[in-house]
Structure 1
Amino acid sequence: MAPTPHSPVTSQLRQLIYYHLDNNLLKNALFLASRLVAYESRSSEAAYLLAYCQYQSGFLKAAWDTSRAAAVKGNHLGCAYVFAQSSLELGRFLEGLTALEKCKHLWQNRNSWGQHNESRRQHLPDAAAVLCLKGKLWKAHKNVDQAVECWAASLKMNPLMWDAFTGLCDAGAKVAVPNIYHLNEELVAAVHLNQQQSAKIENAPTEKSHPPSDPFVSTQKPNKPQSNVLWEKLNGSKVSVNTISTILDEEGMGTPSTEAEIDEGVLQGAPTNQQNEPPAAPMRKTKSSTESQPDPPPRWKPGSTRMRSKAKGVSDDTTTVLQDHPQPPPAAPSKRTVSGQPTSHAAPSSMAEGTRRSNRLLNTVRPPSATSTAGSKISSLANTLGLREGRDIKKAKAPVMKGRTANASTVGRVVSGNRTRTGSADQMDVDGKEQRSTMNTSLPPPVPPIPNPKTRVTSAVDQEIGALQQLLELFGRIGSGQLSLTNYDCLTAIQIYNSLPSHHRETPYILSQIAKAYYEQAQYAEAEKFFIRVRQLAPTRLEDMEVYSTVLWHLKSEIELAYLAHELIEIDRLSPQAWCAIGNSFSLQREHEQALKCFKRSTQLDSQFAYGFTLQGHEYIANEEFEKALEAYRSAIAADGRHYNAWYGLGKVYEKMGKWNIAEQHYRTAAKINPTNAVLICCIGLVLEKQKHADKALQMYTRACSLAPQSALSRFKKARCLMSLGRPQEALTELEILRDVVPDEANVWFLMGRLYKILKQKGNAVKAFTMALNLDPKAAQYIKDAMESLDDDEDEFDEDEDME
């Protein structure tokens, strides 16, 4: 007969699935999830677990198909989330967005801030995670405005959602970093709420009538023993009493830990009728009726921190659980054990006695024998399971005390240090004086005073808020650097990153950001230093290695570039960064056809790899295949609309085709994205100069020189523009500055000679022409003609002559 839905079998399967997921055993989890779906073919939760396992295993289409039915209906948040993630990977963006919108009522007010740690977690996403995913879907759908709105809403709920912040930066949104990374009322309230919940769970009394959970006993029917080895051991049917004692010691049959209670209260939904008051004072006189009514067998509590209970009356919403108040405790029963707990009327079993029963009571059931081995084993078990030095009796004398947290904190010491193994029935008595007289040598150290729970909670809240403030400050500084870099304010970005603490600055991510900032400033030697440091710290890192390969290409480092390409292909031959490095290596050797094959391979591996398309366009320009270059650059822009290199490439193609107006438009679009790039400003000035707008071109060159004072190209073009405008003295001043920057550039000396000629400074002109001739013998004919014309007073300056 197949198990019914929510039966003990399916509950065990859910627990095992999360167990294997937590241990990264995806193949086992996938198999178990398929068994769960076989049991519960119509369950949305079972479909979610199977789809989640498939997604984690990389089976995107299978996960999409499995979660589709529940996602389309909008009745399960987990299915909709996995479906949307799969849709993002498969390019079905609108379907993913539709599924998330249909289940909006399930995630809109959901917040799991601070509810994830080593012992508890939320397996369903909250609103911040869903909004971040929606932003990615909208961006992939080319709706940047909607994406920005979703990311902004996600950061408002969780400012540490780094994906949402980088998405805003990459989209070019105007972000106010201080307004994001600061303590707001929502964060402080969440910290207080979590600490209050933790304190509530710690102060709740532990159930003394049941030992800790057994992972092989169902929670649905605790009164019916399950057929398994551990249950047989607890019943004593197939193992000796000494074995039982050892098992109980190893399994920790004491008070359940606080972490387990947190899991149950927050994740599973704690029952509202849980007792929060200490039990009434215990009966000092042992009654014989308790001997025939043993405690019920141990029950397994839901131990998996990720399992969602399907029991009736338990809310799935975490916020509802956190706001519940415990009901008043029921009336005390008439019969109680020595430990103060009510006697149970469950079905009796031979050895299913709870751990809270005293040795005296156990010895009443089975009197020890002086010569019998079985008697000694029973005595050993009684000492193992016995009352912990009158602890329960002392606590029962003060029933008005609310805080029982101190008991949980001292359980370990009491259990481990106060056991007696002598087996004497007279050695342990319910009277505290007899215990102190017989156990004087084995008593634990005095217990410190019980702290005030309110003071402890306040202190914990202060610590959490302080830690959160520190994290927000760190994220604010890194976020400011990230925003400056995406806005191409490279100097500011470098300053911010260098101001970080050394243990944060000396990490691969931050060092890569600094290297890219130097790369954007065309300071390739400095960028190389930081990329070398990144390779030393993380030799298997692939992110940003395509930029490093381009840096080596600019530096003409053939050997280093070939070595980098070889290492990257060894790390992952299916990474687009590795194929970009190989393509750059071929390009540096002027093997453009081989380089094109490698760049195409990189875009085949990642269709959204805009940099690969841009490098293809550069190679097509080198081969003078302008139509193919235009197609490559447009593909790059389709992948990333803010990829300014592709806009620059389009402008360069139209410039070579003589279409100055169209080239200017594309150059200006690139400069709008990256307003601090001096090369782009120079390109705009060049096309303006070609269109006979020398005054506007001079403005562009002047701006470029202010952005990059050490840029030789900008200053040289400015000097030429001043010459064309008939301002030779100003042009000569610019060239004298440039001469100190690049003293070995022949074009600079040749242009200076012509300026001296215009200014009638024959001696300086001859000196300048001679320097140019020594630096560039190939241009000897042009230089000699200029020198011969020095004596001709009617010589005129030829504006169209180009020595570049």
Structure 2
Amino acid sequence: MAFSGGHVGSQLRHFIYYHLDNNMIRNALFLAERYHAHEPRSLEAQYLISLCHLLNGEMKSALEFSEPAAGRGLHAGCVYVYAQACLDLEKYLEGATALERSKPLWATKNNWNKHSETQRQHLPDAAAVYCLLGKLWQAHKDVNKAVDCYVNSLKLNPFMWDAFTGLCATGVNIRVPNIYDLGPDLRAMINSTPEEADTFTDVLSPTEGALRSNRSAASDPFTVPSSRADPEGTYGSSALWEKFNGSSGMETPGNPNNASGSEDFRIANSVPGPDSASEPPLAPTRKARTIHTMNIDQSGHPPPKMKTTGMRKIKQRTESEEPSAGPIDREPPPAPRVGDRKRTVSGQVAHPQQHPVEPGAPQRRSVRLLSQIKPTTSKFSSTTLTGKDGREVKKIRSTSGKPRTATVGRVVSGNRKPIESSDPDGKEPRAASVPINSGVPPVPKASERTKELVALDALLGLFAKLASGYFSLNRYKCPEAISHLNSLPQEHRETPWVLAQLGRAYFEQAMYTEAAKYFSRIQALAPNRLQDMEIYSTVLWHLKNDVELAHLAHHLLEVDRLSPQAWCALGNSFSHERDHDQAIKCFKRATMLDPEFAYAFTLQGHEYVSNEEFNKALDSYRQGINVDNRHYNAWYGLGTVYDKIGKYEYAEHHFRNAASINPTNAVLICCIGLVLEKTDDFRGALVHYERACSLAPHSVLARFRKARVLMKCQEYNFALADLKILKDIAPNEANVHFLLGKLYKMLHDKPNAIKHFTAALNLDPKAAHFIKDAMDEWEDDDMEDDDMA
């Protein structure tokens, strides 16, 4: 039997999404092939088969199936899949061009707050596309466009974490509190949920709902025509957001005060407006209803009600005497009377029962009798409209929009609000005011909306702390990063990601013992975690903990033998054993597994420097910089190589580049000072050494070099003060005692000079000939000083 109609394609789409939601990618791919074969020209079929190939890791196939629609900008999903495949296949410009070309398809979409356990938006919105576009431009080395895309993505969705981390990677300054602020835009997105937007449509029949929506769209100047309408969201017009929120004078179409939409709403619901004719329009023929639905018309809205008059009620006739003009509501039997009052079903004393009058409906028998009897009072003179038969009625108001109040005389079960009785003289009674909302689904309560806003504010506060910590660490402001991350709640602070950031912060400050504590806690919480474990291996390398380092390397290989982190840990283990050739092989394997892993290129360059293969080291460092231009370790490596080969100008240039990325690293500042010192710029070197000491007061290297330059500048007293501090910081450092001996020798303090020379000899016997020469000769030897340093 041949396939026919579009129902087969619809069923196949349902099956495909079912398997995608259950992470059964191969089944979804098989069904997507059937769907594509059934409707080869369908853009939805092309999108689904390319999406299944993408999720299955088949990037080239995803590119192949999505390219026809993506190249012409016909389907937002196809363009998105095409761009994702281009990002993975390093076709950055092609992917970015396709997204830019198809901007009208996605630029006005915003799926904020539209995803739940029971519904989702399968096409990307503007925030997701901007984030992907930023990644493509960043990979294409166009930082300015990448920054613009990331900013646009965060404006639409502050929880787009990839956009925030990508923005941090570009090196621009960010005001984090401004991103995670519960401002009017986010409140508007929360207030304009799909449920609230569809509140009035849900209570209408499909025909009436379509009629009303079409008429409202025609009169709304902010609504896109139907041929270009966006079915997904309403992002793109701040005025339209305000219209949904009722925040700038443009109420929802149901509000009678809305000059642009109320007329269409009244027409669609056959409810007269303030400017309508004196005669209300005819309503459809009423059908028989039970007592529970007698006050609600077919559209789900209660009919307008009239106030009761002071006229004495006419005794009701039996049902057999009613005319057969058409079906009317059956009135309930009269309740027992007590005095001049009767009781409701719930037993409450109520006013004499009154019934709403629907404009144009067949008159009730009691009404016809009323028209034949002249009233004894003149209370009917207050009415403003006159019907066809001469009876006077109150002017009817629209019941649309916000809950309006109307007067009712009959008390239904559950209404316990006391009602004043009518005046025995026939005066008009004062009836209770209750909202007419029996036919409209309840809108979200204010308390629920408040709770939702409070929860959103709490999440924004949490993300603000996370983002502030990450941004500070990205700018190498490690104390600030630690402060932000430690301010997190306990349950979030004890997560692997936060612990890893804390470990990296201590690692950047050369506080390796503290960093190791955090990484060891990560191993206990998530033993199979691979991210950031290459930093942990370097921490263990600095701590000279060869046992833990070897154990970490073998454990990571067991977790994933094809991960670059595992091979970096193994390379560090070989490097600690001074097997540099094996270490180089491991680092090369890491770069082959992930060519974007800049840290592996840097470690590989360090090993080449240890083997004195400087040309290969330069190539490795340059490859790392090509991957990540802000990877300061690679810039430091280039400066080290040029320093070793005597090209001090190049060395200073690369050291300064590294320091501009990480201005709080005392080692980099010392490296600049060292190059200046070698070029005999002692005053310039002293400035950098003092800055390094202020950044790291406990740094032995910075203070040692500062004291040495002070001695060369013949500022002996300042040098002596720094060396005394240094002796307390590192009492077992032979070079410190040797430099103290030379300083006392210059000050002609022979006893202290011999004392410190002897201490240096005991701490480092291998340097005995240097120390003995210094003790025998009273002349300054700069060459030997440099060798000892």
State the TM-score, normalized to the length of structure 1: 0.72
Structure 2 match to 1:191: 190
Whole-angstrom distance in 1 between the partners of 2:675 and 2:151: 40
Whole-angstrom distance in 1 between the partners of 2:67 and 2:588: 34
Deviations 1:248-290 (A, max 9, x none): xxxxxxxxxxxxxxxxx9xxx9845699xxxxxxxxxxxxxxx
Q: How far did residue 397 of structure 1 move?
A: 4.0
Whole-angstrom distance in 1 between the partners of 2:733 and 2:633: 27
Structure 2 match to 1:372: none
Residue correspondence of structure 1 range 149-164 to structure 2 within 5 A: 149-164=148-163
Structure 2 match to 1:733: 721
Counterpart code for 1:688: L
Structure 2 match to 1:121: 120
1:542 pairs with 2:530: yes
Counterpart code for 2:645: M
Taking structure 1 as reference, are residues 713 and 274 closer, same or farther at Cα in structure 2, changes over 3 Å only? closer
Whole-angstrom distance in 2 between the partners of 1:614 and 1:131: 32
Counterpart code for 1:570: E
1:697 pairs with 2:697: no
Which is higher, the Rg of structure 1 or of structure 2? 2
RMSD between superposed Cα atoms in Å: 3.2
Taking structure 1 as reference, are residues 202 and 446 closer, same or farther at Cα in structure 2, changes over 3 Å only? farther
Taking structure 1 as reference, are residues 762 and 31 closer, same or farther at Cα in structure 2, changes over 3 Å only? same
Q: How far did residue 682 of structure 1 move?
A: 0.5
Structure with a larger share of its residues in helix:
1
Q: How far did residue 464 of structure 1 move?
A: 2.2
Structure 2 match to 1:783: 771
Deviations 1:607-626 (A, max 9, x none): 11100110110010011100
Q: How far did residue 179 of structure 1 move?
A: 1.7
Aligned to 2:737, which of 741, 749, 754? 749
Which stretch of the first structure deviates more once superposed, 453-462 or 663-672? 453-462
Structure 2 match to 1:316: 231
Whole-angstrom distance in 1 between the partners of 2:65 and 2:198: 40
Tell me, yes or no, if the aligned pair for 2:757 and 2:775 is still in contact at 8 Å: yes
Whole-angstrom distance in 1 between the partners of 2:205 and 2:552: 61
Q: How far did residue 29 of structure 1 move?
A: 0.7
Counterpart code for 2:70: A
Whole-angstrom distance in 1 between the partners of 2:585 and 2:121: 46
Task: Give the SS at the match of 1:394.
Answer: coil
Residue correspondence of structure 1 range 421-436 to structure 2 within 5 A: none
Whole-angstrom distance in 2 between the partners of 1:447 and 1:672: 73
Structure 1 match to 2:222: none
Structure 2 match to 1:344: none
Structure 2 match to 1:36: 35
Taking structure 1 as reference, are residues 19 and 196 closer, same or farther at Cα in structure 2, changes over 3 Å only? closer
Tell me, yes or no, if the aligned pair for 1:677 and 1:707 is still in contact at 8 Å: yes
Counterpart code for 1:318: G
Residue correspondence of structure 1 range 641-720 to structure 2 within 5 A: 641-720=629-708
Structure 1 match to 2:448: 460
Taking structure 1 as reference, are residues 622 and 697 closer, same or farther at Cα in structure 2, changes over 3 Å only? same
Whole-angstrom distance in 2 between the partners of 1:169 and 1:106: 28
Which stretch of the first structure deviates more once superposed, 723-732 or 689-698? 723-732
1:803 pairs with 2:788: yes
Task: Give the SS at the match of 1:484.
Answer: helix
Counterpart code for 1:12: Q
Q: How far did residue 471 of structure 1 move?
A: 1.5
Taking structure 1 as reference, are residues 620 and 272 closer, same or farther at Cα in structure 2, changes over 3 Å only? farther
Task: Give the SS at the match of 1:123.
Answer: coil
Counterpart code for 1:525: T
Taking structure 1 as reference, are residues 527 and 663 closer, same or farther at Cα in structure 2, changes over 3 Å only? same
Aligned to 2:611, which of 609, 623, 627? 623
Whole-angstrom distance in 2 between the partners of 1:448 and 1:9: 55
Q: How far did residue 328 of structure 1 move?
A: 3.1
Counterpart code for 1:20: H
Counterpart code for 1:166: T
Counterpart code for 2:788: M
Residue correspondence of structure 1 range 308-347 to structure 2 within 5 A: 316-319=231-234, 328=268
Structure 1 match to 2:464: 476
Point out where structure 2 has 5 or more consecutive residues left out of the alignment.
Answer: 215-225, 245-251, 254-263, 271-281, 303-329, 334-345, 347-412, 418-433
Counterpart code for 1:119: T
Taking structure 1 as reference, are residues 722 and 203 closer, same or farther at Cα in structure 2, changes over 3 Å only? same
How many residue pairs were aligned? 618
Whole-angstrom distance in 2 between the partners of 1:61 and 1:455: 48
Point out where structure 1 has 5 or more consecutive residues left out of the alignment.
Answer: 208-264, 276-310, 341-389, 405-429, 434-439, 790-794
Tell me, yes or no, if the aligned pair for 2:50 and 2:61 is still in contact at 8 Å: yes
Q: How far did residue 784 of structure 1 move?
A: 2.2
Q: How far did residue 395 of structure 1 move?
A: 2.8
Q: How far did residue 567 of structure 1 move?
A: 1.2
Counterpart code for 1:557: N
Whole-angstrom distance in 1 between the partners of 2:49 and 2:416: 50
Tell me, yes or no, if the aligned pair for 2:50 and 2:66 is still in contact at 8 Å: yes
Structure 2 match to 1:724: 712
State the identity as a percent. Answer: 53
Tell me, yes or no, if the aligned pair for 1:508 and 1:537 is still in contact at 8 Å: yes
Whole-angstrom distance in 1 between the partners of 2:590 and 2:200: 54
Tell me, yes or no, if the aligned pair for 1:512 and 1:544 is still in contact at 8 Å: yes
1:110 pairs with 2:25: no
Q: How far did residue 645 of structure 1 move?
A: 0.2
Q: How far did residue 399 of structure 1 move?
A: 3.9
Whole-angstrom distance in 2 between the partners of 1:541 and 1:63: 30
Structure 2 match to 1:143: 142
Q: How far did residue 553 of structure 1 move?
A: 0.8
Counterpart code for 2:293: K
Task: Give the SS at the match of 2:26.
Answer: helix
Taking structure 1 as reference, are residues 448 and 764 closer, same or farther at Cα in structure 2, changes over 3 Å only? farther
Task: Give the SS at the match of 2:292.
Answer: helix
Tell me, yes or no, if the aligned pair for 2:201 and 2:209 is still in contact at 8 Å: no
Q: How far did residue 204 of structure 1 move?
A: 2.3
Structure 2 match to 1:366: none
1:597 pairs with 2:585: yes
1:571 pairs with 2:559: yes
Structure 2 match to 1:87: 86
Counterpart code for 1:3: F
Taking structure 1 as reference, are residues 12 and 448 closer, same or farther at Cα in structure 2, changes over 3 Å only? farther
Q: How far did residue 396 of structure 1 move?
A: 3.9
Taking structure 1 as reference, are residues 44 and 681 closer, same or farther at Cα in structure 2, changes over 3 Å only? same
Tell me, yes or no, if the aligned pair for 2:540 and 2:548 is still in contact at 8 Å: yes
Structure 1 match to 2:22: 23
Whole-angstrom distance in 2 between the partners of 1:403 and 1:503: 49
Greater RCO between the two (CA within 8 Å, min separation 6)? 1
Residue correspondence of structure 1 range 383-462 to structure 2 within 5 A: 394-399=292-297, 456-462=444-450
Deviations 1:160-191 (A, max 9, x none): 11111111111111111122111222211111
Tell me, yes or no, if the aligned pair for 2:205 and 2:299 is still in contact at 8 Å: no
Q: How far did residue 459 of structure 1 move?
A: 3.1
Counterpart code for 2:117: E
Tell me, yes or no, if the aligned pair for 1:199 and 1:457 is still in contact at 8 Å: no
Which stretch of the first structure deviates more once superposed, 769-778 or 32-41? 769-778
Residue correspondence of structure 1 range 554-565 to structure 2 within 5 A: 554-565=542-553
State the TM-score, normalized to the length of structure 2: 0.73
Deviations 1:130-167 (A, max 9, x none): 11111000010011111111101111111111111111
Counterpart code for 2:170: A
Q: How far did residue 787 of structure 1 move?
A: 2.5
Tell me, yes or no, if the aligned pair for 2:110 and 2:232 is still in contact at 8 Å: no
Counterpart code for 2:505: A
Counterpart code for 1:515: G
Whole-angstrom distance in 2 between the partners of 1:315 and 1:711: 61
Counterpart code for 1:689: E
Counterpart code for 1:102: R
Structure 2 match to 1:98: 97
Q: How far did residue 457 of structure 1 move?
A: 4.0
Tell me, yes or no, if the aligned pair for 1:2 and 1:39 is still in contact at 8 Å: no
Tell me, yes or no, if the aligned pair for 1:749 and 1:769 is still in contact at 8 Å: yes
Taking structure 1 as reference, are residues 448 and 19 closer, same or farther at Cα in structure 2, changes over 3 Å only? farther
Tell me, yes or no, if the aligned pair for 2:211 and 2:268 is still in contact at 8 Å: no
1:527 pairs with 2:515: yes
Q: How far did residue 757 of structure 1 move?
A: 1.0
Structure 1 match to 2:573: 585
1:171 pairs with 2:167: no
